[in-house]
Amino acid sequence: MSPITELVLQSTWETVVMVFFSTLFAVLLGFPLGIFLFVTSPRGIAPKIVPYQLISRIVNTLRSFPFVILMIVMFPLSRVVLGTAIGTEATIIPLSVAAAPFIARLTETALNEVDKGVIQAAVAMGASKRQVVRKVMIPEALPSIISGITLTIITLIGYSAMAGAIGGGGLGDLAIRYGYQRFRTDVMIESVVIIIVMVEVIQFLGNKAAALVAKYPLGSFGRSKKVK
Amino acid sequence: MQLKLEHLNKTYTTKRASVTAVKDISLDFPDNAIIGIIGKSGAGKSSLLRLASLLETPDQGEVYYDGVRVDHLPKKELNRRRLEIGMIFQNFNLFSSRTAGKNVAFPLELAGWNRRDIDERVHEMLALVGLEDREKSPIATLSGGQKQRVAIARALAPRPNILFCDEATSALDPQTTHEILDLIKKIHANMNLTVVMITHQMEVVRDACQYVAVIDKGCVVETGAVSDVFRSPKHEITREFLSNIRRSEISVESAIAYLQDNGYEVSKR
C-alpha cells in the first residue's frame, strides 16, 4: 500500500470515528433535552416556564456559536474529560456540543408536529401524560426525528473537516494539508469523493430507517394523505 | 349505559373574546339507545360531546353515567373511567406508527391486560369489523372506511358501555357512510352499549339513531324519538335539516334502495 493510500484510509477512519461518536453523544444528550423542551414549553403538556426558558436560551446560544470558536471554547472541558484538548478524540467533544442543541430543537419540533387529533384520541382512551409522550408522541414523531438525525450526521461530516484546526485529522484536514498546501490535487479529489460517498450512504440509510419506522406502504413516496 | 346531562354550561374565553358554546343543556336518554346530536357548524355540538365524554369539565351543570355523577372526577378515577368510554372521530385519529392490530391493542395496553388476552381480543375485534386479514397492515395502506372500522374496533376493545362518535362519517362517501352506520347498528344490537353520534347530516340520524337532539347556538331546540321528530318537526332548524335530506335524495333509485334496505317491499311499475 502506498503511503498516500494509507494516509487516505487513516483519515477516512478518523472522520468515521469523529462523526460516529459525536452523533452518538449528541443524540444521547439532545433527544432527552428535546423531550424536556417539548413537555415544559408554555404550550406543552406540563408547562414549566423558568426551566424551559433556561434550557431554551442555552440551546439557542450554543446553536449560534461558529464551530471554529466553539472548538476553542471547549478546550477546558476536553481537558477535564479526556485529559487532552487536541487529537481526534478531543474533537468529539465540540462536535457533540455543537450537534446536541440541534437535535434537541429538531426533536421538539417533530413532537410539536404530531397530529393533535391522535393525542386527543389517546387521552380519550385514558392515557396519562407520561403514556401519551412515551407510547404515542415519540413513536409518531420518530420518522421525522430520524430524518433530522440524518441531517445532523451530514452536517457533522462538514464540521469535522474543521477538526484539523485542533489536530483532529480526518478527510477535510487531509484535503487541506495535502491537496491544497502540497498541491496534491489527486489527494484533494480522493478526499472529496470519499466524503460525497459517505454523505450519499448516510442519506440512503437514513431514508430507509425513517421509512421503516414510519411503516410506509411499499412504493409510496410519503405519509398517507391526511383526511380533512 | 344511561346518559344524563343536567344544566350544562361551557364558556370558552380567549384574550379577544368569550364564546358560550353550551347554554344550559339538559338531556336525558333511555339506557342503551343510539342518540343523534345534530347541529350546524359552530352550534356547540362538539363542545357538548367533549363535556359528555369527560374530555372537558363544564363551568356549571352535571354529567351522570347510570345515575352516578362523573364530571369533576379526580384524575386517576377519570383515567380509569375512560376505559368505559369509547370514542371515534371524523379523522379516525389512528396511530400511524402502529399496525391496525396494534392500534386496537393500545387501549388494552393502557388497561394493563396481559399479552395473550390482548392478542385474543384484537383478533376478535378485527373479525367483528370485518378486517381479520388486516391485522399486520400499516394504517397508511387502509382506505377511509377501513380506517374507521379499525377505529371502531379500537374504541370498543376494552368493552366500554358508551361510544361517542364525533362526526364519524363526515369524511366518508355515502356508500361507506352507510356501511359504517350498519356496522355500528349491528354492534349496538349485540352489545350492552349506548351510542352518541354528533353529526351535521340528518341522513345519519335517520339511518342510525333512535333519539335525536337538535342543537342551535348552544341550546337544545328540539328533542325526542327520531320517528316523532321526522313526522312532526317543531323547530325551524329541524325543518331545515329535513328539507336538506329531501333535496339530496331526489333520485327515485336512492329512495327505492332506502325503502328496500328498511324492509319495505317496493314494486317497480
DSSP state at residue B72: T
- Give contacts of B83 with chain A, Cβ < 8 Å: 125-126
Q: Of A117, A139, A142, which has the smallest distance from its Cβ to B91's Cβ?
A: A117
Cβ of B53 under 8 Å from any chain A Cβ?
yes
Q: How do B194-199 and B211-216 pair as beta strands?
A: unpaired
- What is the residue extent of each domain of chain B? 3-261
Asked if the Cβ–Cβ distance from B93 to A115 is below 8 Å, we say yes
Question: Whole-angstrom Cα distance, residue A61 to residue A105?
Answer: 12
- Asked if B91 has any chain A CB less than 8 Å from its own CB, the reply is yes
What residues of chain B lie within 8 A of the CB of A122, using their CB? 95, 106
The answer to whether A99 and A106 have CB atoms below 8 angstroms apart is no
Q: Do B92 and A115 touch (CB under 8 A)?
A: no
Q: Chain A within 8 Å of B145 (Cβ-Cβ)?
A: no
Q: Which of A44, A162, A130, A140 is nearest to B139 (CA)?
A: A140
B96 close contact with A: CB closer than 8 A: yes
Nearest-CA distance A137 → chain B (Å) = 9
Query: What tens digit of pLDDT does each residue of A62-88 get?
Result: 989 888 888 888 888 888 888 887 888
Nearest to B107 among A125, A215, A217 (CB): A125
Q: Write the ipTM.
A: 0.83
Q: Specify the residue for cell string 457533540.
A: A96
Cβ contact (<8 Å) for A223 and B89? Answer: no
Contacts of B87 in chain A (CB under 8 A): 121, 124-125
Residues lower than pLDDT 70 in chain B: 246-255, 267-269
Stretches in chain A below the pLDDT threshold 70: 216-228
Q: A157 with A198: CB under 8 angstroms?
A: yes
Distance from CA of A133 to the nearest CA of B (A): 13
Closest CA to B158 of B190, B119, B113: B113
Q: Give kind and range of the element (H or E) at residue A159.
A: helix A138-160
Identify the structural domains of chain A with CATH numbers, from first to last.
Answer: 3-214 (1.10.3720.10)
Chain A contacts of B110, Cβ < 8 Å?
125-127, 131, 135
* Nearest chain B residue (CA) to A223: B140
Burial class, A184, CB count within 10 angstroms (exposed 0-12 / middle 13-18 / buried 19+): middle
Residue of B nearest to A141 (CA): B97
From chain B, the residues in CB contact with A214 under 8 A are 96-97
B3-261 fold: Rossmann fold (3.40.50)
Query: Rounded distance, CA B91 to CA A166, Å?
Result: 54
End-to-end CA distance of chain A: 62
Nearest residue on chain A to B95, alpha-carbon basis: A118
Sign of CA dihedral B173, B179, B185, B188: negative
Q: Please report how the helices A88-112 and A75-82 are oriented relative to each other, as an axis angle in degrees rounded to 10.
A: 110
- Count the Cβ atoms, other than its own, within 10 Å of residue A145: 21
- Helix (H) or strand (E) holding A157, with range, is helix A138-160
Nearest to A126 among B97, B110, B171 (CB): B110
CA distance A52 to chain B (A): 23
pLDDT of the residue at A221: 46
* A120 interaction partners in chain B (CB closer than 8 Å): 55, 89, 93
Alpha helices of chain B — where are they, by DSSP H? 45-52, 75-81, 100-110, 115-128, 144-156, 174-190, 202-208, 226-231, 236-248, 252-261
Interface mutation vs chain A, best among B97, B125, B166, most A CBs within 10 Å: B97
Compare CB distances from A117 to B83, B85, B89 and report the shortest one's residue.
Answer: B89
| pLDDT score of A83 | 84
Dihedral sign, Cα of residue B88, residue B89, residue B92, residue B95: negative
DSSP-assigned beta bridge partners for residue A135: none
* Residue B156 touches chain A, beta carbons under 8 Å: no
Beta carbons of A121 and B97 less than 8 Å apart = no
